[in-house]
Structure 1
């Protein structure tokens, strides 16, 4: 029985070595990742019993995806096996003023063709305290959106806390489609995670006076976004990540948590990026962990932001850090000095 259940798609990640462009690469490194899978791995590394739920083919590539989770202690026993393919994404890492680029090849994946009968949510949620999904998953198709809705309803029926990272992806659906579908799902969500674009693209909620590209973040604007989300969907909490991008390699990273009463801002980190994919997922995992542990709102946002800060220094999707490492950064141990 898992404390936390996450539901979504895990994909095969194919990427050139280092900062090579796609057209330069003669070899592509193969790993696995995906929003909700990344959250499950982070939580397992924090010693939380976490299960990832999806549908994967029975062939060897599907098994390799399962194995990539099992090696970190994620419960994979609830994964449905079937379908024909594992979704793929190609990643070209950016540098300096050249942005990173992602190309998806996920149409017709096993999870995208999943059906309601593939998942027994009574069994999946046995002993569960927290359910997490992202806006990427319902964007895979109406059938998957319907599965998400069924899961959210069942979680609410069982008194399970539900969290959602809005994670808007314009290549998967339009803002109009996202707003309609996510609006229905958000009625069952307790904790919402968003960034500077998600609330705007999905629900038309903007942070006034903010120019992320120009390095200008208006705290009052983000307070308004969090309060509007909370009021509209009767949330228990809303978390907003605050990224200022100076270049593909260098960002400022911070976050805010609104707990329905007060606004709590984390410290800001100047991050030199090794790999930013999974940064938001590591934030979500840190938030879930801290809230499950009963941290104060301020300590929660500090832990989640620090966990995500560290992820930016780690190659591939998964965040390979411990609670002690996150707590050390929160306490001021961010010098990067060798630990002996």
Structure 2
């Protein structure tokens, strides 16, 4: 197996408490993250050859961050050094990135300054068998969207498997284009598409029944997941796998399940529920990593879906952006949730 290359922006999550105690105590927790880095971290923990491509300024902070990634088994040799700052975002503890309270401080970061022609894809894609990115990347600017397309063309020419997570971040799409004007041109290169029904509608123009949210029934969502997956594969013939996640708040807890559609068949995961969770950030990234983990090794489709779902669910109880679960931890969680 070649390298699994994850391309995206490394971010620091600053995590103030809701009542302002951090000001009185002079303590402001932070975590190292970024959607694609979270995927890279999980894959490295699970023993796959995981590499990470981002852009960082050349300074002491970056040196420490890269050492931190190296210690986690991530190949950082492809990181590009340019620009002057690392991207930040602020999010209160316990909230997720769809929350209106998220504050981004990413303008003029090293990654946001990328432009076509800056990265030598011939060198970068040597020994790479899988390329992963997310819809967060092209949300940053037209230039970064063009860099993504440049990368996807190069990867596709080399028959590298390409996956995307359709993360939708409304606060990032601020350069005059809607996601549906940008994403189809990138998704056409992808073999594996992961998201949810609403992100697929927003980004790919796949229609949903107007009353599906009001119906709010699991059977309805599962049936629509299959219809949407079929529509995506018809619209984007290179796509072989479509996965959808369903995570619904239940008070302070969560109801969670997923679907996987491939080769004309839909698979449904085991359901997971919890009355209380710790951290929502990075759960979807962990699911994406689980998909890559299973698909890249040609695991049984039902088993890989259940593994990915358990990995995502387990991340909800870990206070950080990236998971710390190993394979045995996830298999144990699966066993504990057998019905």
Deviation at 1:238, TM superposition (A): 0.3
Cα shift at 1:67: 2.6
2:5 corresponds to 1:8: no
Matched, 1:312 2:312: no
Determine the structure 1 residue equivalent to 2:193. 192
2:80 is the alignment partner of 1:80: yes
CA apart distance, 1:264: 0.3
Distance 1:29 1:207 in 2: 40
- In the alignment, the residues of structure 2 paired with residue 292 and residue 94 of structure 1 have an alpha-carbon distance, to the nearest angstrom, of 32
CA distance in 2, matches of 1:100, 1:172: 12
**CA–CA distance in structure 1, aligned partners of residues 214 and 261 of structure 2:** 20
Query: 1:309, CA displacement in angstroms?
Result: 0.8
Match of 2:264 in 1: 261
Question: For residue 227 of structure 2, what is the aligned residue in structure 1?
Answer: 224
Q: CA RMSD in A?
A: 2.1
Contact 2:279 2:317 in 1 (8 A): yes
| Residue pair 1:286, 1:305 contacting (<8 A) in 2 also | yes
Q: Give the Cα–Cα distance (whole angstroms) in 2 for the partners of residues 141 and 291 of structure 1.
A: 31
1:92 deviates by: 0.2
Q: 2:213 aligns with which of 175, 189, 211?
A: 211
Q: In structure 1, how many angstroms separate the alpha carbons of the residues matched to 2:45 and 2:128?
A: 18
Shift of 1:93: 2.1
Q: Give the whole-Å Cα distance in 1 for the aligned partners of 2:137 and 2:215.
A: 28
Find the counterpart in structure 2 of residue 338 from structure 1.
Answer: none
Give the distance between the partners of 1:56 and 1:2, measured in 2 at CA. Answer: 24
User: Residue 147 of structure 1 corresponds to which residue in structure 2?
Assistant: 147
Determine if contact 1:242/1:253 at 8 Å carries over to the other structure.
yes
**In structure 1, how many angstroms separate the alpha carbons of the residues matched to 2:69 and 2:100?**
25
C-alpha change, 1:276 and 1:298, in structure 2 (3 Å) is same
Alpha carbons 1:215, 1:245 under 8 Å: kept: no
Moved over 4 A (4+): 212-217
Greater shift, 54-63 or 4-13, is seen at: 54-63
Secondary structure at the counterpart of residue 111 of structure 1: coil
Maintained 8 Å contact 1:255/1:265: yes
Show CA shifts across 1:266-308 (max 9, x none): 0110033211100110000000000111112211211110111
Name the CA distance, whole Å, in 2 between partners of 1:250 and 1:35. Answer: 23
SS of the aligned residue for 1:119 comes to coil
Tell me the distance in 2 between the aligned counterparts of 1:213 and 1:62: 48
Q: TM-score scaled to structure 1, two decimals?
A: 0.90
User: Is there any run of 5+ residues in structure 1 with no aligned partner, and where?
Assistant: 336-340
1:242 to 241, 246, 250: 246
Per the alignment, residue 289 of structure 2 pairs with 285
- Any stretches of 5+ residues in structure 2 without a counterpart? none
Contact preservation (8 Å) 2:197, 2:228: no
1:4·1:131 contact (CA, 8 Å) conserved in 2?
A: yes
TM-score normalised per structure 2:
0.90
Q: Which of residues 317, 329, 333 in structure 1 aligns to 2:333?
A: 329
The 2-side partners of 1:231 and 1:33 are apart by 34
The reply to whether residue 137 of structure 1 matches residue 140 of structure 2 is no
